[in-house]
Structure 1
Amino acid sequence: MSQATYSKQSTALLFVDPYNDFLSEGGKIWPRVKEVAEEVGLIENLKTINRTVRESGMRVFIVPHRRWEPGDYECWCHPNPTQLGIMKRHSFARGEWGGDWHPDFAPRPGDIVVKEHWAQSGFANTDLDQQLRQHGITHVIVVGLLANTCIESTGRYAMELGFHVTLVRDATAAFTHEMMHAAHELNGPTYAHAILTTAELVAALPTAVDAQ
């Protein structure tokens, strides 16, 4: 992989699923990601990236999963295992705390909140591709949850559409170490143009001075 260059005009942060259910103590899914998340320093790394990207003048796109509502998936012909789990747990329930934004990662004025995705890709059945192209974006940095599902699917789809894709190995998490290994060591190198740590990404981004 070659060293990437990130322009504030053409690079965007894709922050996938920054919900309380994923990222906050008491969230429905937090207990399943907690061990890996705490091991990699997920929350602090997401804060660092979120702050640095904004200081550099880059755009932030929030890429949210469908918030569960009564009746979701019940009459579908082929709900996937994750959707069946959401139907049972009511993950990211609309109007409830778990389906609200983690307070440190809520959208801010100027952010683009993409239409909610129903499965794993932030592009499938949403306006993400159109929004990126209308804002002149060519490079995407994908962070959030989960490494081996929504992050991988969104990043892979972005590559197929011609975007330069950066993954950040410690700005995501998964249910197991094996899933993290698969996401970054086995699958990531088949589609991502760069796989960095938070420190490496921050060093590569324009500084606040550069953004002026």
Structure 2
Amino acid sequence: MDATHYDARKTALLFVDPYNDFLSEGGKLWPAIQPIAEEVHLLANLRAIQSAVRNAGIQKVIVPHRRWQPGDYECWCHPSPTQRLLMTRKTFSKGSWGGEWHPDFGPQGNDIVVHEHWASSGFANTDLDFQLKQHGISHVIVVGLLANTCVETTARYAQELGYHVTLVKDATAAFKREMMHAAHELNGPTYAHSIVNTRELIQTLQQG
């Protein structure tokens, strides 16, 4: 991986799916990711990265999943296995507490909230690429949930579109350690330009 320099004018933090259902006690998916989230100190790392990004003047972009509504996916020809689970779990249900932002990670100031993605990629059928291009962004740092689904797919798509991609290993989580291993040790090196931990990222940001 190369030694990355982040120009604040050209860098964005993509924060994927910062919902209560994922990140808060009582969230529908929190029990499934809690063991790994606590092992990697996910919440503390996300707070630290968000603070460092704001101090550096880097644009934060929230990349949210579709908030489930009645009728979603039911008449689709090819809903994915994950979308079928969304229909039964009603994850991130619109108007529910679980579908609200975690209180520490919701939008503030000039944060951008892009259109909700229906599947795993934050780019497909949304305005994410348009927003990044309009803000002159060339480098993206991708954090949030889940490591092997929405984070990986969004980051892969970013690379396909020509962005410089950074993954942060301990600013994400998954349902199993094997999924984390696949996301960062097997799959990540095939497309990401930089794979770091939170300490390394913040040190680089502080160096300017």
The answer, yes or no, to whether TM exceeds 0.5 is yes
| Percentage identity across paired residues of the two chains | 68
Q: Secondary structure at the match of 2:133?
A: helix
Aligned length: 208
Cross-structure match for 2:20: 20
- Deviation readout 1:59-115 (Å, 9 max, x if unpaired): 000000000000000110100011000100100000000000000001012011000
Matches within 5 A, 1:102-113: 102-113=102-113
Partner Cα distance (1:77, 1:39) in 2? 39
For 2:81 and 2:109, locate their aligned partners in 1 and report how far apart those are by CA, in whole Å.
35
1:149 aligns with 2:149: yes
Letter in 1 for 2:147: A
Alpha-carbon deviations, 1:119-161, whole Å to 9, x = none?
Answer: 0000000000000000000000000000000000000000000
User: Is 1:121 aligned to 2:133, yes or no?
Assistant: no
Which aligned segments of 4 or more residues in structure 1 are displaced greater than 4 angstroms? Answer: none
Provide the rounded CA distance (Å) in 1 between the counterparts of 2:5 and 2:55: 17
Q: What's 1:40 paired with?
A: 40
Q: Which runs of 5+ in 2 are unaligned?
A: none
Counterpart for residue 86 of structure 1: 86
Distance 1:50 1:79 in 2: 33
SS of aligned partner of 1:61? strand
Q: Aligned ranges for residues 181-192 of structure 1 at < 5 Å?
A: 181-192=181-192
1:180 partnered with 2:180 = yes
Residue matched to 1:57: 57
Indicate if the aligned counterparts of 1:60 and 1:111 stay in contact, CA closer than 8 A.
Answer: yes
Per the alignment, residue 140 of structure 1 pairs with 140
| Secondary structure at 2:169 match in 1 | strand
In the alignment, which residue of structure 1 is the partner of 2:7? 7
Structure 2 CA distance, aligned partners of 1:4 and 1:109? Answer: 27
Normalised by the length of structure 2, the TM-score is: 0.99
RMSD: 0.7
Report if the CA contact (8 A) 1:7-1:206 is conserved: no
C-alpha distance in structure 2 between counterparts of 1:38 and 1:118, whole Å: 28
Q: What is the CA distance between 1:3 and its match in structure 2?
A: 0.4
Shift of 1:206: 4.2
Partner SS, residue 170 of structure 1? strand
Per-residue deviation, residues 160-202 of structure 1 (Å, max 9, x unmatched) = 0000000000000000000000000000000000000000000
Give the AA of the match of 2:106. A
> Letter of the aligned partner of 2:59 in structure 1?
R
The reply to whether residue 100 of structure 1 matches residue 118 of structure 2 is no
Counterpart secondary structure, 1:36: helix
